[in-house]
Amino acid sequence: MPKLIIDDITVEVPEGTTVLEAARSVDIPIPHFCWHPALGKAGACRVCAVKMLDGPVKGIQMSCMLPAQDGMVVSTTDSEAVAMRRLVIEWLMINHPHDCPVCDEGGECQLQDYTIAGGHGIRRYNGKKRTHSNQDLGPYIEHEMNRCIQCYRCVRFYQEYAGGTDFGVMGSAGRVYFGRFNDGQLESPFSGNLVDICPTGVFTDKTARFRARYWDYDMAPSICPHCSLGCNTTPVARYRELLKTVARTNDAVSGWFLCDRGRFSNSAVNDPQRPRTPKVDGRETSRDEALETLLLRLGEVAELYGPGSIAVVGSAQLALEAAALLPLLALSVAGVLCYFSGQEDEGRTRLLHELLSSGSSASQRDVREADCIVILDCDPLQEAPMMALAVRQAWRNGARVYVVGGGIDLPCEFIPVAGLDAVPLAEAANPVIICGTAGPHAGELLSSFPPCGGGLGWGGGRHDTSMLQLHPPPNPFKPQRVLPSREGGHNNNLRLACLFPAANSFAAALLSREHGAISLEEALADGVIKGIIAVEADIPERLLEGIPFVAALDWRMTAAVQAAQVVIPTTAWVEMDGTYINHEGRAQRFKKVMNPGIPIKGLDPAGHPPHCHRTVPPGGEARPAWQVVAGIIEGLGGEQIAEPLSGQWEQLRKLDAESEGVLIHDL
């Protein structure tokens, strides 16, 4: 391990580490544009200059290009190095427009920061600035090529990292252009990362254009709710409107990036049709009255039809806090507990979930580091795009990728095979199987990943409410085990990545199994169910037909909300603290980004709410689903619940939202 001295600090780093990376490891910042932790070096910008005072290399050097070596003595503050960096900034600014006041990157721009830090303020060059035409890159990305400093990050990400082919670099001499050959929407499902990766304002988020400055933002660490991978995000809001979402780094999960679905699916939160006010029989009312009516009508249904006539229905989108309270709610109403609406959906999700343990579940990082990947019964690019990006990184590092049955698109080369038997899993050092819940082959995995068995179960009959334990015995999670390979040998490293349908599918399957829940479809089969409490549940219209009483707790305009006699609005994930358990069993915390309420932008001036004293903003009555569920339980005579995560979940209360999360198998 090379040992060197940087600014009088002795640093020892692994072989192959650059001087810039060595400096970062001891928190010595060196300016950089083209170097990026996920993309590595390009040596294009020359702003990372340092002075090598002694050792095998001397003089001014680019720290991102120089491997750390024994005996090096490096100064980042030497006057020659500082002058070099200042001159680099000055010549970059020769062509960069002075348009910070109208640039969306202003306030979060690396070039702006370094220009100010370097002290460049007077333009000494009187020539004209080089100008370019911009392209229409579609509805998501704004293009402003005049701001380009030719760091090549965009094209390195788009082509090399993400495998995109419709965007590149063209040019001659001093005119270098980063764009498409023609106007048109960027085709890569990862195109939004250009916004994060560009160190200036060439690529900015068109959906949030001219809406706010960095210092105006409401921000907090969050988790993407749009698939089961649990990619880390930072949603950005202002005035109760979710403006945009940017990637947040978590090396164990999504690394530095985010797919376009996760980045640009913000409209549901700002939807003017969102249920914002409690309703009884279609009439707006107070939360207290809605709750009272709900309790009254639940009592009527129970009295009229008897125990087991009410279904408490959660979903795989529901945060853990509310999901963990549903068994107690079902117990309180002597009802049936459901976490899934469809029987097939429940069966497949639970089957795959049972195959996962800390020794067998694969993270996105495991996939990126795999040397053999099998894709089975799923289309990662459609179901969980960041998994496809992880597969590409493994392929770039030499992994072989097999697709059982073929017929899908991937951003890398792959070998179609007829079945798992055709894949030489036993020969691989770090093989991963990626499986979805929709296909026919999941059962085949049982021989490679036998279910861990009984350790999780408190399962019971459908109406056996004694099985609905809120605080089950400790140690409910699965033990590690040795995984037999398909070939009959043993491959301890074989891992499984399951692509579940929703952000909290893992928790829904786990709770469903623990508490003997059944699907709503199954519950409805014998016609006993006469009342449904839908807690952020996507229940198809056909399952709601003929049900005398429906109550919906939700923040989206679902079929249940439309059919419900009592509606109590809940908060979206960006309006509360909560926990999701991702596809591998990793619990991750998300924090409240903004207060609930109608966005100021959404207030219709003609129909402005009456001017009156309020303690909450218009439409701001929504509460997190767990609080509404706790209120119902209390109203039914149960205990007061101040903290939803208790019993087996108690250890998650202090989970840091900015940590890598925790595998619940290891709790």
> CB of residue 81 vs ligand FES: minimum separation in angstroms?
12
- Residue 528's SS3 state is coil
Could you tell me how many residues of this chain bind ligand FES (CB under 6 A)?
Answer: 12
**Closest approach of Cβ 60 to ligand FES, in Å?**
12
Figure out which of the listed residues 2, 21, 35, 544 binds ligand FES, where binding follows CB under 6 A: 35
Tokens 């990619």 label which residue? 231
351 binds ligand FES (CB under 6 A): no
* Least distance to ligand FES, CB of residue 541, Å: 56
Of the candidate residues 40, 43, 119, 299, the single one contacting ligand FES (CB under 6 A)? 43
Beta carbons within 10 angstroms of residue 451's beta carbon:
16
Q: Shortest Cβ distance from residue 92 to ligand FES (Å)?
A: 11
**Three-state secondary structure of 585-627:** CEEEEECCCCCCCCCHHHCCCCCCCCCCCCCCCCCCCCECHHH
Q: Which backbone phi and psi does 130 adopt, to 5 degrees?
A: -70, 135
Smaller CB distance to ligand FES: residue 72 or 141?
72
Query: What whole-number distance in Å separates Cα of residue 223 and Cα of residue 262?
Result: 10
Residues 411-470 that bind ligand FES (CB under 6 A): none
Nearest distance from C-beta of residue 408 to ligand FES, angstroms = 37
Which residue carries 């070939």 as its tokens?
Answer: 487
- Min. distance of Cβ 111 from ligand FES in angstroms? 12
Nearer of residues 33 and 573 to ligand FES, judged by Cβ: 33
Q: Going by DSSP bridges, is the β-strand pair 59-62/49-54 parallel, antiparallel, or unpaired?
A: antiparallel
- Closest approach, Cβ 88 to ligand FES, in A, equals 9
Query: Which of 24, 32, 156, 350 is close enough to bind ligand FES by CB under 6 A?
Result: 32
> Is 46 a binder of ligand FES (CB under 6 A)?
yes
- What is the C-alpha to C-alpha distance for residues 352 and 480, in angstroms, rounded to an integer? 16
Task: Determine if 641 is a binding residue for ligand FES (CB under 6 A).
Answer: no
**Cβ 18 to ligand FES shortest distance, Å:** 9
Separation between Cα atoms, residue 205 and residue 200, nearest integer Å: 12
Name 18's bridge partners: 67
Indicate the residue among 64 and 391 with the shorter CB distance to ligand FES.
64
Residues 6+ apart with CB under 8 A from 594: 218, 237, 240, 241, 242, 574, 575
- Nearest to ligand FES of 32, 392 (CB atom): 32
Distance CA 201, CA 108 (A): 9
Q: Which of residues 42 and 318 has its CB atom nearest to ligand FES in the complex? A: 42
CA distances (Å), 16 to each of 1, 2, 68, in order? 9, 9, 7
CB of 145 to ligand FES, least distance (A): 19
Give the interface segment with ligand FES, choosing from 38-46, 105-113, 445-453, 572-580 (CB under 6 A).
38-46
Q: Which stretch binds ligand FES (CB under 6 A): 46-54, 189-197, 369-377, 390-398?
A: 46-54
Name the minimum Å distance from CB 23 to ligand FES.
Answer: 12
Backbone torsion region of residue 285, taken as left when φ is above 0, otherwise alpha when ψ lies between -120 and 50, otherwise beta: beta
Closest distance of CB 35 from ligand FES, Å: 4
Q: How does DSSP assign 99-119, residue by residue?
A: -GGG-TTTTS-HHHHHHHHHT
- Residues with Cβ within 8 Å of 479's Cβ and at least 6 positions away in sequence, in order, are 357, 452, 455
Where are the strands (E) in 398-485, listed by range?
A: 400-404, 415-417, 431-436
d(C-alpha 375, C-alpha 416), whole Å: 9
Please name the residue that has the structure tokens 């469903």.
Answer: 512
Cβ of residue 86: shortest distance to ligand FES, in angstroms? 15
Part in contact with ligand FES (CB under 6 A); list of ranges 44-52, 390-398, 459-467, 534-542: 44-52
Q: How far is the CB of 109 from ligand FES (least distance, A)?
A: 16
CB of 62 or CB of 552, closer to ligand FES? 62
Closer residue to ligand FES (CB): 48 or 194: 48
Residue ranges in 47-76 that form contacts with ligand FES under rule CB under 6 A: 47-48, 62, 64
CB of 33 to ligand FES, least distance (A): 5
Q: How far is the CB of 30 from ligand FES (least distance, A)?
A: 8
Question: Quick one: which segment of 43-51, 175-183, 300-308, 430-438 binds ligand FES (CB under 6 A)?
Answer: 43-51
Rounded CA-CA distance 395/162 in Å is 11
Residue with Cβ nearer ligand FES (20 or 370): 20
Q: According to CB under 6 A, which one of 5, 38, 39, 44 is a site residue for ligand FES?
A: 44
Q: Interface with ligand FES includes 24 (CB under 6 A)? A: no
Q: Work out which of 11, 13, 19, 34 binds ligand FES, going by CB under 6 A.
A: 34
How far is the C-alpha of 579 from the C-alpha of 222, rounded, in Å?
9
Contacts of ligand FES in 95-134 (CB under 6 A): none
Cα separation, 22 vs 40, in Å, equals 13
Among 33, 190, 217, 264, binds ligand FES (CB under 6 A): 33
Phi (first) and psi of residue 204, to 5 degrees: -125, 165
Q: How many CB atoms lie within 10 A of CB 617?
A: 17
Which span sits near ligand FES by CB under 6 A: 39-47, 89-97, 135-143, 192-200? 39-47
Q: What is the C-alpha separation between 555 and 594, in angstroms, rounded?
A: 15
Residues 633, 637, 638, CA angle at the centre, nearest 5°? 50
CB nearer to ligand FES: pick between 42 and 280: 42
Q: What CA–CA distance (Å, rounded) separates 368 from 363?
A: 9
Put residue 195 in one of left, alpha, beta given phi > 0 → left and psi -120 to 50 → alpha: alpha
Q: Which is nearer to ligand FES, 44 or 268 (CB)?
A: 44
Q: Which of 389, 426, 383 is nearest to 411 (CA)?
A: 389
Dihedral sign (CA 262, 263, 265, 268) = positive
Q: Is 45 in the site for ligand FES (CB under 6 A)?
A: yes
Q: At what angle do helices 110-118 and 79-95 cross, to 10 degrees?
A: 130
State the residues that interact with ligand FES by CB under 6 A: 32-35, 43-48, 62, 64
